[in-house]
Amino acid sequence: MTVDNILKSRLDGGSLKKLLALDNANLNELIADAILRFQPASVFVSTGSAEDLYHVRAQAIRRGEEKPLNLQGHTIHYDGYEDQGRDPQNTRFLVSGNISLGPGLNSMERQEGIREINEVMNGIMVGKEMVVSFYTLGPLGTEFAIPCVQITDSYYVAHSEDILYRQGYKLFEGETAKEGFFAFFHSAGALKNGVSCDVDLRRIFVDLEKNFVYSANTQYAGNTVAAKKLAHRLAIMRAAREDWLSEHFLITGVQSYEGDKTTYMAGAFPSWCGKTSTSMLFNVVGDDLAHVRKKNGKAYAANVEKGMFGVIKDVNPKDDPYIHEILVNPGEIIFSNILDVDGRPYWQGMGQVDVPLKGQNHCGIWWKGKKDDNGKLIPVSHDNARFCVSIEGLNNYDAKQVVDLEGIIYGGRSSKRPVPVSELYGWVHGVFYGASIESEPTAATVGGGGSKMVINPMANKEFVSIPIGKYLENYVRFGRDLKHPPKIFYVNYFLRDESGDFTNTKMDKKVWIRWMERRITGKVDAYATPTGFIPKYEDLVRLFEKELDTNYSKEDYELQFMFSMPQLLDKLDIADKYFRGETSAVPKEIFEVIDSQRKLLIEAQEHYGEKISPFRFEDYKIPEALTKPF
């Protein structure tokens, strides 16, 4: 059969007209091939028009993938009990020949992978309707825009993507998308009680050669909403090839006290390390993914998305006022895997709310004290329960599409090191700190003896689709052309004292971010230390009073910014071992920073002792070894 005949056999007149209007032969061939492989009963094509968006949402409800809640626009979706998160074990990169992505990346030989995914997905849509949607990574009309086509048999997935991403139908017109678009193929597979039942056949395969992603027998959005982390994996490879950055970045805008300037910063944090809460402190441009390009010697960033797929646990009016407000008012929101009682949603940590003793959640009918088959108590909502919403409804939303990037924040989770906030000495020094982000695996082990630290370069380790060495080489190279590179900062919100108590409150981070803004704009000075600039006590006193209306004592400052030299040297050793274990060559600049850093720390320890008060650095000289740009 010809491509035209295949399309006519499954598309009704309206969908066929929408597809043919693009006059894109490569796209038509792609969709025709998907029809032959997956064998859907019919195909619906969405252009992103108001009518098509309404149809997608209505079908998600009609087919039982979502259920309406009491507030207008609110729906709830449930994933299977064993389908509640990303599946790293079955997420694999398909690579050809002898290509190696390194020890930390799950890959397999491409032809073997194609055979396996064909066995899983051939005929998987029999009796179902295929949905074809078009999106863009990044704002339309800018160099950031990357066309994406999503093919799925789940209207919930298409609806989620409509909320999270800008529509990209127009990008596929004519020759525009003949090269370079990303394509995603998803099927929820066989369903039982509305959820994927063949989870043992769950597969997420990333074909780096074709820029395709296949996802089967799963509904959880992190495995299926392709323009999110699945597209991020493809974009990282493209970015390295084209000399830009695809990053696990929030973007926030901090307006000066004087009202004359908004300073934009990006930030990368591993899960549960304060990323979303940091993005919401001031004005939010994006909370999860960003692309960074350069022009005229400066770095510019854009939010890849237009929505949030956020963890809902502990969202409450006190800690997350902007997010909480949008979740309790009418508007288009998809809740997932939380408790539904007569059309009202409940979740863990939602604040001063009496949670009912019975209802429906991700396990089916739930009651307080219910246990799963392994004897584990089932909470009112899953720990990874989510909300999907457009960020445009947030009261602190910043609508600027492309921002001048002046700061980058890296943050991890460690109970012992380093200090709460520091400014690194330049691009390469900052890249090293970003590359050596470390975090303790879970909140439950923070402060516990023997907890294993995990190195997570740029909080991007799970998604990097090229060897770590090449990924870091691209970072170093990117900075060489920048006449005014962003200042780079490192934060740690999770320091504990000897008794195990946190040395910071949850809101102290607002002061740390404000200090960064004042550093970028030249409004505050700092102490030089062996590991970077740290705030002066008198500046923090003023910032704590202005931002949080609290007093900040010398005792608190000394406790929080005390340098533990053995701990900092241990961090260097862990990073050194990690980078030397990579099969691809890590840039020599990274090891030069490690050597210089170690020498300075040992000298400081010999001069000041193992525990050094921040006040001892009042006369410390800026170390030239770390301030050289390259």
DSSP 184-253: EEEE--SEETTEE--GGG-EEEEETTTTEEEEES---HHHH-TTTHHHHHHHHHHHHHHT-EEE--EEEE
Residues 434 and 446 placed together within one structural domain of the fold: yes
- Residue 72 in any domain: the answer is no
Instruction: Using pLDDT thresholds of 50, 70 and 90, give the confidence band for residue 81.
Output: confident
Asked if residue 143 has pLDDT above 80, the reply is yes
Percent with pLDDT over 70 in the chain: 96
Whether 207 and 156 share a structural domain: yes
Rounded to whole angstroms, the Cα distance separating 441 from 454 reads 7
| For residues 467-493, average pLDDT | 94
Phi/psi at 54 (5° precision): -65, -45
For 508, phi then psi, to 5°, come to: -60, -25
Residues 382 and 499 in one domain: no
Please identify every residue annotated as catalytic: 273
The confidence score (pLDDT) of residue 445 equals 28
Is 73 a member of any domain?
no
Q: What value does the mean pLDDT of the chain take?
A: 92
pLDDT, one tens digit per residue, over 40-63 is: 999 999 999 999 999 999 999 999
Q: How confident is the model at residue 518 (pLDDT cuts 50, 70, 90)?
A: very high
In a domain, 266, yes or no: yes
* Shared-domain flag, residues 419 and 432: yes
Same domain, 252 and 237: no
Q: Which of 393, 422, 457 is the last residue of a domain?
A: 393
Same domain, 427 and 559: yes
Question: What's the pLDDT at 281?
Answer: 94
Q: What is the average per-residue pLDDT within 556-585?
A: 92
Q: What confidence category does residue 101 fall into, taking pLDDT thresholds of 50, 70 and 90?
A: confident
Residue 176's pLDDT band, with cuts at 50, 70 and 90, is low
pLDDT of residue 271: 80
Work out the widest C-alpha separation in the chain, in whole angstroms.
80
pLDDT of 581 > 90? The answer is no
238 and 250 belong to one structural domain? no
Amino acid 446: pLDDT:
27
Query: Would you call 416 helix, strand, or coil by DSSP?
Result: coil
Least confident of 63-67, 194-198, 396-400: 194-198
Same domain, 7 and 47: yes
Q: Are strands 146-152 and 182-187 parallel, antiparallel or unpaired?
A: parallel
The whole-number pLDDT of residue 175 equals 66
Of 367, 393, 419, the one marking the end of a domain is 393
- Cβ neighbours for 242, distance < 8 A, ≥ 6 positions apart: none
Inside any domain, residue 201 = yes
Interior angle at CA 228, CA 219 and CA 385, nearest 5? 50
pLDDT for the residue numbered 450 = 41
Mean local confidence (pLDDT), 282-291: 96
Q: End-to-end CA distance of the chain: give it in Å, rounded.
A: 58
Say which range, 191-195, 345-349, 574-578, has the weakest mean pLDDT. Answer: 191-195
Mean pLDDT of 114-140: 96
Q: Are residues 479 and 612 in the same domain?
A: yes
* Backbone torsion region of residue 163, taken as left when φ is above 0, otherwise alpha when ψ lies between -120 and 50, otherwise beta: alpha
Give the CB-side neighbour count of residue 145, counting CA atoms within 13 A.
18
Together in a domain, 258 and 234: no
Phi then psi for 200, rounded to 5 degrees?
-70, -15
Residue 475 confidence (pLDDT): 95
Which long-range contacts link 189-195 to residues 24+ away (Cβ below 8 Å)? 189/124, 189/216, 189/217, 189/218, 190/217, 193/364, 194/64, 194/65, 194/78, 195/78, 195/79, 195/80, 195/83, 195/219
359 with 454, same domain? no
The predicted model scores a pTM of: 0.92
Residue 264 half-sphere exposure toward CB, CA atoms < 13 A:
23
Mean pLDDT computed over 415-442:
90
Last-in-domain residue among 242, 257, 275: 242
In angstroms, rounded to a whole number, what is the distance separating the alpha carbons of residues 197 and 89? 18
Handedness of CA 387, 393, 394, 399 (dihedral sign): positive
CATH of the domain at 90: 3.40.449.10
pLDDT the model gives residue 479: 94
In this predicted structure, the answer to whether residue 418 has a pLDDT above a threshold of 60 is: yes
CATH classification at residue 346: 2.170.8.10
Find the CATH number of the domain harbouring 581. Answer: 3.90.228.20
What is the span of the domain harbouring residue 374? Answer: 309-393
* pLDDT at residue 156 in the model: 96
Structural domain count of the chain: 3
Is the Cα torsion angle 216, 219, 221, 222 positive or negative in sign? negative
Residue 77 in domain: no
Q: Are residues 298 and 313 in the same domain?
A: no
Q: Is the pLDDT of residue 442 over 50?
A: no
Query: Has residue 217 got a pLDDT over 90?
Result: yes
